[in-house]
Amino acid sequence: MDVASARSISSHPSYYGKPICSSQSSLIRISRDKVCCFGRISNGMTSFTTSLHAVPSEKFMGETRRTGIQWSNRSLRHDPYRFLDKKSPRSSQLARDITVRADLSGAATPDSSFPEPEIKLSSRLRGIFFCVVAGISATFLIVLMIIGHPFVLLFDPYRRKFHHFIAKLWASISIYPFYKINIEGLENLPSSDTPAVYVSNHQSFLDIYTLLSLGKSFKFISKTGIFVIPIIGWAMSMMGVVPLKRMDPRSQVDCLKRCMELLKKGASVFFFPEGTRSKDGRLGSFKKGAFTVAAKTGVAVVPITLMGTGKIMPTGSEGILNHGNVKVIIHKPIHGSKADVLCNEARSKIAESMDL
């Protein structure tokens, strides 16, 4: 596939990046045995973006590269900003960094918000202690959940406030010795009896602990694989966390239906509309599922901005815990009947507070 044909396929603005709110991927996948322009190297596949940049002609390996940047599928760094020069099959690879301009959608750049510093011994020790504290406290508190679960199902089957109180206690005990949370906009939180759709950026595994410490009885959306983990999975099931199988359309439909049912029964739900954790702190595009649920049920959308969790425990480094504090900004609720409008407005509020 050449550059011209790729441009004709692209439905998004030029420059590297993804649409602000979308329900589909902005990448086209081609086989890994080919060399392509502007690709991301991933497991087993080479991703080819449909938004391309042209660069000046450059003499390279005895031939002229007219447009684009050549990528090697032999890269093991999984880094979309590396340029690999293979002089010969037996020669070593020579890499140089190339700055790629990102668009306003918040695409990552080489000037990452989360650089990769050398991991200190203190961070590793803090990570071990954090896991110990969280594990021990969860082991004792799960007993309270199990004892109270029959009464919760009998008197509060949808919101399950008792279980969420236990979860708040667990999260607070786990994070208290390690970092502090500064919360702005608590007055913007709806009352406990008012159902709403909460959305937030997603930077780290610590986001869950931070949000649980707010003490709101909202139902998270979680992939099904976590439910099989002892203690954690049991607690999630008793709290009423909504399961989701990724890449399974039927599961996605069932998940949205379950969320709408919970909202109609007076319970709130929580979405990470990016769909995954950010690896560099940049805000990604939002999927519309959460906003479709809000528009169809007529409830408000409450955007929440999380800052600092990704630096304390970066994605992919869950075994370490750096020093730092977390800031939570709770924005005013958004009302509307159109998912697109809700999606764009919620993302704009979060992006502005992150100073993007």
pLDDT in tens, 185-203: 999 999 888 999 999 999 9
Q: How far apart are CA 307 and CA 325, in angstroms?
A: 9
| Tokens representing residue 191 in the block | 């009352």
Q: How far apart are CA 141 and CA 162, in angstroms?
A: 12
Our CA dihedral for 206, 211, 214, 218, rounded to 10 degrees, sits at -150
Torsion sign across C-alpha atoms 119, 125, 131, 133: negative
Cβ atoms of 220 and 208 within 8 Å: the answer is: yes
Report domain extents, the chain.
3-97, 121-353
- Detail the DSSP E strand segments found in 215-288: 218-223, 242-244, 268-271
DSSP one-letter code for 190:
P
Kindly state the helix (H) or strand (E) to which residue 7 belongs, with its residue range: helix 3-9
Please choose, from the candidates 245, 255, 307, 243, the residue with its C-alpha nearest in 3D space to the C-alpha of residue 281.
307
pLDDT digits (tens, 9 = 90+) for 309-333: 999 999 888 888 999 999 999 999 9
Cβ atoms of 185 and 203 within 8 Å: the answer is: no
Bridge partners of residue 326, in order along the sequence: 181
Q: What is the average pLDDT across 211-231?
A: 92
pLDDT at 192: 84
| Tokens representing residue 341 in the block | 């409008």
Q: How far apart are CA 51 and CA 38, in angstroms?
A: 9
Cβ atoms of 73 and 61 within 8 Å: the answer is: no
pTM passes above 0.75: no
Mean pLDDT of the chain: 76
pLDDT digits (tens, 9 = 90+) for 292-305: 999 999 999 999 99
For 313, other C-beta atoms within 10 Å of its C-beta total: 26
Q: Are strands 268-271 and 181-184 parallel, antiparallel or unpaired?
A: unpaired
Residues 6+ apart with CB under 8 A from 19: 12, 26, 105, 285
Residues 6+ apart with CB under 8 A from 153: none
pLDDT at 247: 84
Q: How far apart are CA 105 and CA 115, in angstroms?
A: 20
Q: How far apart are CA 310 and CA 290, in angstroms?
A: 23
Looking at the domain that runs over 121-353, which CATH code has it been given?
3.40.1130.10
DSSP one-letter code for 61:
T
| Residue carrying structure tokens 């502005």 | 352
pLDDT digits (tens, 9 = 90+) for 82-107: 434 444 444 444 344 433 333 334 44
Instruction: Please tell me which residue, 337 or 15, carries the higher pLDDT value.
Output: 337
Q: What is the average pLDDT across 250-278?
A: 94
